[in-house]
Amino acid sequence: MSLPANVSNRRQLDEAPLLVAARGGTPAHTPVWFMRQAGRSLPEYRRTREGVPMLRACLTPDLVSEITMQPVRRHGVDAAILFSDIVLPLYASGVELDIVAGTGPVVNRPVRGAADVAALPALRAEQVEGVAEAVRTLVAELGATPLIGFAGAPFTLASYLVEGGPSRNHERTKALMHSEPETWHALLGKLAETTLEFLRVQIDAGVDAVQLFDSWAGALSPHDYAVYVQPHTNRILRGVAEHSGEEVPRIHFGVGTGELLTAMRDSGASVVGVDWRVPLDRAVNRLDPQQHRPPVVQGNLDPAVLFAGWDAVRSETERVLAEGRSAGGHIFNLGHGVLPDTDPDVLTRIVELVHSSSAGRR
């Protein structure tokens, strides 16, 4: 069982730039962190993870804590994000799956019908106690740096379960969605509850914000997203708001979701993550065409630009910062995760540039 919503272990970080920006305030500088900042680009990560399977590492408190802290120490980012994996709550609940090198998550028994959905186990808080322990350790170590919780959104989890692994076209997923809508909604309803419980555990342990990743939502049309996905994403984000008393900012991010930004915001996100395909000023206009209340956005430097040399990186970073000034708040990030062969020194220089370029201006 999770703690009651009125029991909070969160620190008071009223001046933390990430939390100020996420709430639409004016931070001392534009906050910056990177998706997949704790990962294969860091030699210390590769040493720490050597010989340890990914999902086991995600449930081992001392490994989670160490890996989560590594980019904070190295880069001086404005937030740590909990080291985890998008399928971890499925694995922890008892779904038979593994992460196969070079492939990604592979499910032993894919979900193909109503009976498979009915058989899916629910996540219990005690099954991810290792995650909660890691969060408690981290909030004690991070000082004034916020910790972002992590979870995968229902559509992306459903795609892995139905396809049996990564998919280019999501054909089995979409076929189930359209041919058996009752089964589909039962599946996403279960996944929403699993994800919400996973986030509740993290919130009760003390995370300061959460990010909900919908990696594959960009494969959907606006109509299909609104009918088949948005109600379940809303259940999660609304549940986070209710559980935390609106204290915890809710970041929602998907890849290729330029046509879904408004729906993602309307699902209950307080911050909308934008990938590199849509300039931030254009994203702001899509989210607030009447300019009533400029949204808070996160993003969106193309991860591939980090291989282009410092002059190009600096120019593109400055462009993203300039476009982000049209928003009600801007959290600088990449437009997707750090690529494995990225030079970590480039990430450190980006942090320094963002801080120096944005200090004292909004």
The CATH number for 44's domain is 3.20.20.210
Strand partners, 100: 104
- Has 225 been annotated as catalytic? no
Please tell me the distance from the alpha carbon of residue 262 to that of residue 278, in angstroms, as a whole number.
13
Is the pLDDT at 274 greater than 70? The verdict is yes
In a domain, 21, yes or no: no
Catalytic residue among 45, 160, 225, 228: 160
Whether 9 is covered by a domain: the verdict is no
> Is 361 a known active-site residue?
no
Q: Single out the catalytic residue among 11, 23, 40, 325.
A: 40
H-only helix segments in 206-279: 222-224, 230-244, 261-266
For the chain, how many structural domains are there in total?
1
Range of the domain at 270: 30-358
Q: Provide the strand spans (E) within 262-305.
A: 271-273, 296-301
Helix axes 171-179 and 181-205, enclosed angle (nearest 10): 110
**Is 45 considered catalytic here?**
no
Query: Residue 346 corresponds to which amino acid?
Result: V
The Cα 27–Cα 358 span in angstroms is 9
Does residue 22 lie within any of the structural domains? no
d(CA 35, CA 23): 20
What does the alpha-carbon distance between residue 13 and residue 305 come to, in Å, rounded to a whole number?
33
pLDDT tens digits for 4-49?
A: 444 456 789 999 999 999 999 999 999 999 999 998 899 999 999 9
Q: Would you say residue 20 lies in a domain?
A: no
Q: What is the pLDDT of residues 301-343, one digit of tens each?
A: 999 999 999 999 999 999 999 999 999 999 999 999 999 999 9
Residue 242 lies in a domain: yes
pLDDT score for 293:
87
Q: Is 302 a catalytic residue?
A: no
CA 72 to chain centre: 17
202 annotated as a binding-site residue: no
Question: What's the rounded Cα separation, in Å, for the pair 14 and 153?
Answer: 28
